[in-house]
Structure 1
Amino acid sequence: MPMFRRVAFLLLAGLAMGCAVPAFAFDGSDGPPQGESPLALFKNPSQAFRQGMDGYRSGNFKTSVEAFEYAAANGNPLARWKLGRMYAVGDGVPQDDDKAYRYFSQIINNYDEDDGDRRDLSVVSNAFVAVGVYSLSGLPKTGVKPDPERALEMFQYAALNFGNADAQYNLARLYLDGADGVVGKDSRQAVRWLALAADKGHLQAQALLGHMLFNGFEGMPPQRARGLMWLTMARDAAVSSKDPKDAWIGDLYAKAAAAASDSDRQVASLYLDEHHKRN
């Protein structure tokens, strides 16, 4: 059993979550998805990855994919991550969630936390989150069924071992929405994870945390100034990013700002100044 599974189990048990360590294997293969064969045109996986990045930056996606496939088939996690992301969003290749899932799974299958020289931990951390997201909805073509329990375990591992803000946010959403037979709705747990992600600058977490604090939750009284502070930070970040998917953040801020008193706004401004000084 890989060491990271044992450690994850101990950490999760310590939190009394009662979740089993996930079976990470996809199909036992470390090669490219079925029907593809990487070309052995490179000296080593690292050199192939560098050539792949050169091709990617120049827009030569065919060459870059061949190089990434060679590096990925020979154990390079960065190449696996890059291919996973390309297939996940259709960046230079046809969008293919099945292939993306395959590459992300290879990363976590081969992760060894006893390896003292890990320069790819952010890639590993994000791969756990990606597999968790896919586990929520499943992949019908590949036979991967929706599995909220595995998603919970993926997010927990990335949140606890790597402090991954996306994992913390996804955990919060699971606790907000609940998942039958896996986790019940628990706003207090959700706020705990949102606060951790918000402190790392996760704007969606900041927005939800601010909304919950401003309005109160589960019998907890509102913290209007504190909530308005987080909503202001999230609104500012959303305006800067100009991502249409974050339009809801502006709506939450506008509703809170309209309901806030002058005192709420003044104290929120003080909180915001203190936060910026600390960070």
Structure 2
Amino acid sequence: MRISDLTIACLLLFVGAPQGARAQDFANGQPPLPPRPIPGIALPEPGPSRPAVSDDAVIAPAPNTPTAHSALPFVPFSNAREALRAWMRDSSAGDQVGAVRALEYAASQGHLTAQYKLGRMYAGGEGVPANDLKAFEYFSKIADENADAAPGTAAGRMVGSAFVALGSYFADGIRGSYVKPNPDRAFDMFNYAASYFGDPDGQYNLARLYMKGQGTARDPRQAARWMKLAAEKGHAPARAAFGEMLLRGGEGVPRQPVLGLMWLALARDGADPVRESWIIERHDAAFAAASAADRQAATALLERQQLAGSGSPTMQR
């Protein structure tokens, strides 16, 4: 689930957590239980006013200890909304240190979108030194405090994305920290993001766990089910993976080469040529190996779907 920085900026002042109907993609017709609380350490809280820092102040990397979590000194804001205005003003002026300081203050006040933005920043090293442990802790706080956010809302999309990020951290662990690889917890995170929030990244990653039998019993049919749900939402990697499943068939998945080629073509159309070049390679290889009749039928099916404005073709019987 990609949430643009522009969207985040617009939501920072207005996002809330209204209640609403739950997602439709529950695995067994019942909403999943929220995962148990995620271990972590407390995020920094606002401290007393400190002397102003000089103009050459920089953002220092966190100490190399498993539970260290240092923060920029907070400037006194009267509330989170004032801090967010300062964040947008300082960001526009190119004052990254002031912008991060303001955002940290808003996050410490429990502002969901500020927490999410900081998690993304630390995960990707965007304007701050990359720090996976800090990112993990922000995403953990979001998940622990907002697991019942309404699906389909701005808040729900951010919380679902935070669960996906946590799943990835639990899958691989964070070197030199208390976050160790834990396939069972990764499954919990992806399953909750996929089933409660209907998050396509969560559905894609959950399908991969079912394919590999990591954190759960191997189940190709469940893998295909979740991969199809993500593919129908326009998730390019899921479209490619689901297309390959249909090309191969077997293990409870019907072999449908024409439909498989069509999904691969849809995946190629939506793929990022830099980050997802593997999709283009697999598409090209599959079409090169297919018969002329299958290629022609897949192309015709793709055109019909594009004209109809639907990327969710009906499974052939």
CA RMSD across the alignment? 2.8
Deviates more, 1:89-98 or 1:137-146: 137-146
The reply to whether residue 184 of structure 1 matches residue 197 of structure 2 is no
Between Structure 1 and Structure 2, how many residues are aligned? 265
Alignment partners' CA distance in 1, 2:175 and 2:106: 28
- Distance in 2 of aligned mates of 1:57 and 1:166: 31
1:242 alignment counterpart: 273
Partner residue in 2 for 1:23: 36
Preserved contact between residue 139 and residue 145 of structure 1 (Cα < 8 Å): yes
Superposed CA deviations along residues 204-230 of structure 1, whole A, max 9, x for unmatched, are: 001111111112232644211101111
Q: Are residues 267 and 50 of structure 1, via their aligned partners in 2, closer, same or farther at CA, if it must alter by over 3 Å?
A: farther
Q: Structure 1's 219 and 14: CA in aligned 2 closer, same or farther, altered over 3 A?
A: closer
Distance 2:267 2:27 in 1: 30
Cα distance between partner residues in 2 of 1:78 and 1:220:
40
TM-score, length-normalised on structure 2? 0.75
Q: 163, 167, 170: which is aligned to 1:128?
A: 163
* 1:49 equivalent in structure 2: 84
Structure-2 residue corresponding to 1:164: 199
**Residue 56 of structure 1: CA displacement?**
3.2
Query: Which runs of 5 or more structure 2 residues have no equivalent in the other structure?
Result: 1-18, 46-67, 311-317
What aligned pairs does 1:106-145 form with structure 2 within 5 A after superposition? Answer: 106-111=141-146, 113=148, 119-145=154-180
Q: Which residue of 2 aligns with 1:197?
A: 230
Q: 1:38 to 1:105 in 2, by over 3 A?
A: farther
Question: In 1, distance between residues paired with 2:72 and 2:163?
Answer: 26
Give the counterpart letter for 1:247 in structure 2.
S
Gaps of 5+ in 1: none
Per-residue deviation, residues 247-270 of structure 1 (Å, max 9, x unmatched): 211121111101222221222123
Q: Comparing both structures, which one devotes a greater share of its residues to helix?
A: 1
TM-aligned CA deviation for residue 142 of structure 1: 2.7
Q: Which residue of 2 aligns with 1:154?
A: 189
Q: Please give the TM-score of this superposition, normalised by the length of structure 1.
A: 0.84
Name whichever of 222-231 and 103-112 sits farther off. Answer: 103-112
Q: SS of the counterpart of 2:77?
A: coil
CA separation in 2, counterparts of 1:26 and 1:37? 23
> What is the CA distance between 1:115 and its match in structure 2?
7.7
The one of the two structures with greater contact order (alpha-carbon pairs below 8 A, sep at least 6) is 2
Q: Which residue of 2 aligns with 1:260?
A: 290
AA at the equivalent of 2:113: L
- Relative distance call for 1:56 and 1:190 in structure 2 (3 A) is farther
Alpha-carbon distance change, 120 to 189 in structure 1, aligned in 2, over 3 angstroms: same
Deviations 1:119-162 (A, max 9, x none): 42211111111111101111243311211111111111111111
